[in-house]
Amino acid sequence: MSIFIFGDSHVIRLWKSRGDQAEVDQCYFPYMHPSQPVPKNYQKSSCEYEHIYEGRDLPVDLWFSYHKGKCAWNVPKILNELNPCIKKIIPEDATILPYFGYMDAKTYLTQYKDPEATVIKYMDAIKENFPNNPVRYIEPIPQFVRDIGTGNGLMPFEERYPMHKRFVSELRRQCEIRGLEDPISPEKILGVDKLEQSYECHECEYCLYPSSAGILWDHLKVEYNRMIFDEILNQYS
């Protein structure tokens, strides 16, 4: 059994909850198999960044791919333009676990207010790019109740919360329509559909980077990411 968790920066927080899970990047050059040597004329490409990593010391074979700040709406572009060799590395028997949607509710859906169309575009892209793989979605974590800063200013919880709920509801509905398993639900694992201050982390390694000084990153404390990650592993090991 092997699984591939593919999502935004919350994927980083999953693997950090069990120690440093990132080994080596499998993609050294677009479309080149990782067993091949790096060419002498090698030049960096966008395909290197935020790409595929393998888990370590886990009860299941696991790949991760995180894409900071990316939305479910961006998935077609990620797979077809930014990181196309994802599809060449992940085997067809691996279960794909897409984990996008948090950024959509946090930013774009508060403006465009069309979570249903976003979910359909997202799921269609996964099906198109992984036609032979089993797929099971991971719902985005709930939104934090404090106002969250974005490139468009502060996004009030009152605007983000209904977009999150509509996104999750449509994701569940589309899974049923498409004959897929019910999504893995952080809401159900944590027992909450909104995140109070007690869930918010400002103490982990990522939060304490010098570049993070003065920034309140909106992510879960390690113990809560560990709960979500352990439940995923329990279901696939």
Range of the domain at 94: 2-236
Residue 145, burial from CB neighbour count under 10 angstroms (0-12, 13-18, 19+) = middle
Q: What share of the chain is helix, strand, coil (3-state, %, to 5)?
A: 40, 15, 45
Q: Of 168, 174, 216, 171, which is closest to residue 192 (Cα–Cα)?
A: 168
pLDDT profile of the chain (237 residues), mean per 10: 92 86 54 50 49 83 90 92 83 95 85 87 97 97 84 78 95 98 97 94 74 74 95 94
pLDDT of residue 214: 62
Cβ count near 54 (within 10 Å): 16
pLDDT of residue 119: 96
Number of structural domains (the chain) is: 1
pLDDT of residue 56: 82
pLDDT of residue 19: 79
pLDDT of residue 107: 85
CATH at residue 115: 3.40.50.1110
pTM score over 0.85: yes
pLDDT of residue 42: 44
